[in-house]
Amino acid sequence: MATYAIGDIQGCYDELKILLDIIKFQSEQDKLLICGDIINRGPKSLETLEFLYSIKKNCHITLGNHDLHFLAVAEGVKEISDSDTFQALLEDKNLDIYVSWIRELPFHHISNIKIEGKMKSYIMTHAGIPPHWTREELERYSLELTETLKGPGSIGLLENMYGNEPNHSTKCDSEIERLRLNINYFTRMRFCQNDGTLDLVSKGKANETPPQMKPWFDWNLKILEHPFHILFGHWAALEGKTGKSNISALDTGCVWGKKLTALRLEDNRIFSCNKIN
């Protein structure tokens, strides 16, 4: 039995299947932690979702910005854009099943895994964890977003989640702005300040840092008061590198012509499949 953390799939179904062959994935015993952006931009969002749904008992998936955008389009609150590639999914007979499933996926996941006789704790989100969040805050904000997405406030949240502002909790004028900020922390963050002030405009490499900002993982993270190993995706330009042994960047840009990566947690071994389609 092994546990693999997999980066942004983004509809790269063929590469996902090859990667699972490479790791000799066995649905009877292995577990997958998938950091989100499972669909969109790539060629086979429908096939990817069909497959992941079929093995959902083996998967822990956290929501990414593309998954949330798909929900917004499926719910009719946002127009599909030219760069979106999930039209076949929107026309599929099982659309309602997939929408219900994605809507209930969490914003964070914690796994405790026994490695060489010792328990090790992993925490995964799509984009990362802002430096000022404690574990208690992260869990509260994550649950709050999930409950909102599942409840009567769902449409309002999907309508209002777009935008780069407010960039800090002290600038939120309403409840919905606070929820938007937290969605941005969980699913879009790259650069921020030590107090969590976000810069969502820059998308560059970690060494092309905007003034006063750092990659979120380069600050002292309150969440690491607990001995977590952090897993995240979203930031393909990092090419899998954070420079920290306890913070693993899983998005290695498959959809952009690079590769899809799986990290085996038991021995930190990296497996990958180059882009083929």
Contact residues toward Mn ion (CB under 5 A) are 37, 64-65, 234
Q: CA 56, CA 100: separation in Å to the nearest integer? A: 13
Cβ nearer to Mn ion, comparing 7 with 25:
7
Structure tokens at 46: 């429908």
**Which residue, 65 or 85, has its beta carbon nearer to Mn ion?**
65
Q: How far is the CB of 36 from Mn ion (least distance, A)?
A: 7
Least distance from Mn ion to the Cβ atom of residue 93, Å: 28
In 3-state terms, the chain is what percent helix, strand and coil (to 5)? 35, 20, 45
**Nearest-CB residue to Mn ion?**
234
CB of 186 to Mn ion, least distance (A): 10
3 state SS of 139: helix
- Of 240, 198, 196, 242, give the one whose Cα is nearest residue 218: 242
Asked whether 59 and 108 are in contact (CB, 8 A), the reply is: no
Helix (H) or strand (E) holding 158: helix 154-160
Nearer to Mn ion by Cβ, of 45 and 65: the residue is 65
Instruction: In angstroms, give the least distance from the CB of 8 to Mn ion.
Output: 6
Q: In what order do the strands lie in the sheet with 109-115?
A: 109-115, 118-124, 228-232, 247-249
Nearer to Mn ion, 37 or 218 (CB): 37
Nearest approach, Cβ of residue 125 and Mn ion (Å)? 11
CB of 2 or CB of 102, closer to Mn ion: 102
